[in-house]
């Protein structure tokens, strides 16, 4: 008798079960393929990172680097080192830059093109398509400041989305300047917003002093009327940033990539410089409409204590892209668990059924039904499972090393020697 309620997953995280996992696999494969086509190499990085890496990379007053950060209890090691303060990574770029230096990739030919796929963690308010554990496709080009790499990353990410047949996506583009021109602009922005302070919502009142750029991407109704007249950073870029922005636009034009200049597009992350971009899906609701975003982060490496090194990258939301595929295009069906089901009629056939299973697996995914239920019950389960073939076994036939191969689509059934099962399955319609 259970004495306590059954245990459920933690709030804000979810199980991705087979019906959904198939869609994720399509999205991940598309990501790997497009990244490799552009000459990017895959890496796998730790999910736990030192807290300093994230705090210095994102700024501890940012959401992802501050209140949303999952902090682990410090664990001491037996060698007497002070317990490390670790967090679950909220994003991939800081870890990628760390790995680039720690692994000596900065010593080889530059720039270095890398990508990774994996989970990120943010203690955000759970909502539709906003989870506390979610999955990202991260692409980074580290070691060269040319705006041509910004456009390469955009083209790659556009190819990822477009290649899967997802439409109604717009590419939003902006430049947020750099450490030369942004401080002056931020003062202008504060001068504009200060007289309006009482009419802003509480988060924006705080942003006005701590992170004024974020005033521009506030989604709250109350703050919208003030945006239109706010100064735009693209009118206040220094010469170098303005030239880089022009280059990005002209290369996007040459690539035939349409974009929408969006003066309100900023990144919540402090280390971004110059180009910022986002892929927005028109049918996804409000704050969850972003399929992915990225930009240049020339100030990040130095902020982490490494030599000044430019970089540009993109993070795509796999959960949201998989959702779009499944719900908008409805194109992905989970493969049946097994294509062939081996159904022994009696329990003494376990060993023979296992052997037949082994033989069939050379042709198609095969499972054996070892349960004690009747053949009728096994057949019903086989029909429901979506398998194409049943291999029905009785003792007399097993002694002769033959079995009944039944086509679950047509209902046709015939005797087949065990050794001939793989070719019969393949010829009659092997794996789809």
Span from 123-131, 182-190, 366-374, 420-428 in contact with ligand AMP (CB under 6 A): 123-131
CB-wise, 278 or 397, nearer to ligand AMP?
278
* CA–CA gap between residue 103 and residue 99 (Å, rounded): 6
Instruction: Answer yes or no: are the C-beta atoms of 340 and 425 closer than 8 Å.
Output: yes
Report 80-99 residues binding ligand AMP (CB under 6 A). 91
* CA–CA gap between residue 2 and residue 417 (Å, rounded): 49
Smallest separation (angstroms) from ligand AMP to the CB of 31: 13
Report 131-150 residues binding ligand AMP (CB under 6 A). 131, 134, 136
Instruction: Answer yes or no: are the C-beta atoms of 61 and 211 closer than 8 Å.
Output: yes
- Residue 62 DSSP SS3: coil
Question: Does the protein bind ligand AMP through residue 65 (CB under 6 A)?
Answer: no
Smallest separation (angstroms) from ligand AMP to the CB of 242: 25
Span from 216-224, 291-299, 344-352, 393-401 in contact with ligand AMP (CB under 6 A): 291-299
- Residue 56 DSSP SS3: helix
CB-wise, 315 or 332, nearer to ligand AMP?
315
* CA–CA gap between residue 313 and residue 294 (Å, rounded): 5
* CA–CA gap between residue 204 and residue 211 (Å, rounded): 9
How far is it between the farthest Cα atoms of the chain? 92
Question: Does the protein bind ligand AMP through residue 213 (CB under 6 A)?
Answer: no
- Residue 283 DSSP SS3: coil
Question: Does the protein bind ligand AMP through residue 320 (CB under 6 A)?
Answer: yes
CB-wise, 13 or 417, nearer to ligand AMP?
13
By beta carbon distance, the residue nearest ligand AMP is: 317
- Residue 329 DSSP SS3: helix
Question: Does the protein bind ligand AMP through residue 317 (CB under 6 A)?
Answer: yes
Dihedral of CA 186/188/192/194: which sign? positive
Count residues binding ligand AMP (CB under 6 A): 16
CB-wise, 130 or 361, nearer to ligand AMP?
130
Question: Does the protein bind ligand AMP through residue 319 (CB under 6 A)?
Answer: yes
CB-wise, 325 or 352, nearer to ligand AMP?
325
- Residue 1 DSSP SS3: coil
What is the total residue count of the chain? 432
Q: Which of 95, 111, 212, 293 binds ligand AMP (CB under 6 A)?
A: 293
Phi-psi region for residue 256, left (φ > 0), alpha (ψ -120 to 50) or beta?
A: left
Q: Which of 116, 273, 290, 309 binds ligand AMP (CB under 6 A)?
A: 290
Smallest separation (angstroms) from ligand AMP to the CB of 133: 8
Report 356-385 residues binding ligand AMP (CB under 6 A). none
Which residues, including other chains, have CB under 8 Å from residue 387's CB and lie 6 or more apart? 336, 337, 338, 339, 340, 341, 367, 408
Smallest separation (angstroms) from ligand AMP to the CB of 335: 25
The residues binding ligand AMP (CB under 6 A) are 91, 122, 124, 129-131, 134, 136, 290-293, 315, 317, 319-320
């Amino acid at each position: 008798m259970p004495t306590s309620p059954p245990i459920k997953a933690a709030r804000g995280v979810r199980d991705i079960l087979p019906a959904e996992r198939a869609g994720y696999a399509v999205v991940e494969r598309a990501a790997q393929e497009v990244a490799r086509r552009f000459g990017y190499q895959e890496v796998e990085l730790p999910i736990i990172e030192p807290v300093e890496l994230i705090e210095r990379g994102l700024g501890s007053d940012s959401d992802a680097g501050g209140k949303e950060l999952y902090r682990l209890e410090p664990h001491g090691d037996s060698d007497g080192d002070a317990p490390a303060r670790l967090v679950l990574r909220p994003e991939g770029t800081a870890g990628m830059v760390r790995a680039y230096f720690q692994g000596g990739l900065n010593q080889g030919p530059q720039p270095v093109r890398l990508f990774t796929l994996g989970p990120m963690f943010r203690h955000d308010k759970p909502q539709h398509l906003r989870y506390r554990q979610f999955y990202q496709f991260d692409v980074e080009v580290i070691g060269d400041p040319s705006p041509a790499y910004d456009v390469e990353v955009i083209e790659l990410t556009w190819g990822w989305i477009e290649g899967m047949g997802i439409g109604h996506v717009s590419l939003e583009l902006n430049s947020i300047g750099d450490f030369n021109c942004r401080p002056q602009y931020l003062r202008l922005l504060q001068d504009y917003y200060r007289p309006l302070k009482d009419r802003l919502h509480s988060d924006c009142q705080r942003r006005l002093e701590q992170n004024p750029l974020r005033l521009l991407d506030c989604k709250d109704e109350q703050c919208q009327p003030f945006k239109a007249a706010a100064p735009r950073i693209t009118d206040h870029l220094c010469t170098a940033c303005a030239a880089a922005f022009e280059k990005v636009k002209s290369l996007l034009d040459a690539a035939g990539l349409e974009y929408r200049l969006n003066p309100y597009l900023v990144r919540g992350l402090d280390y971004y410089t110059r180009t910022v971009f986002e892929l927005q899906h028109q049918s996804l609701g409000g704050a969850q409409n972003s399929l992915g975003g990225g930009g240049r982060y020339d100030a990040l490496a130095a902020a982490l204590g490494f030599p000044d090194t430019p970089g540009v990258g993109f993070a795509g939301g796999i959960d949201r892209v998989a959702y779009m595929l499944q719900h908008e295009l409805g194109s992905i069906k989970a493969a049946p668990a097994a294509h062939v089901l081996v159904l022994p009629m009696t329990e003494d056939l376990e060993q023979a059924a296992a052997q037949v299973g082994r033989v069939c697996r050379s042709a198609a995914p095969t499972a054996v039904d070892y349960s004690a239920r009747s053949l009728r019950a096994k057949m019903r389960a086989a029909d429901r499972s979506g398998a194409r073939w049943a291999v029905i076994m009785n003792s007399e036939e097993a002694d002769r090393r033959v079995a009944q191969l039944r086509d679950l689509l047509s209902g046709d059934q015939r005797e087949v020697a065990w050794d001939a099962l793989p070719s019969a399955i393949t010829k009659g319609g092997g794996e789809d």
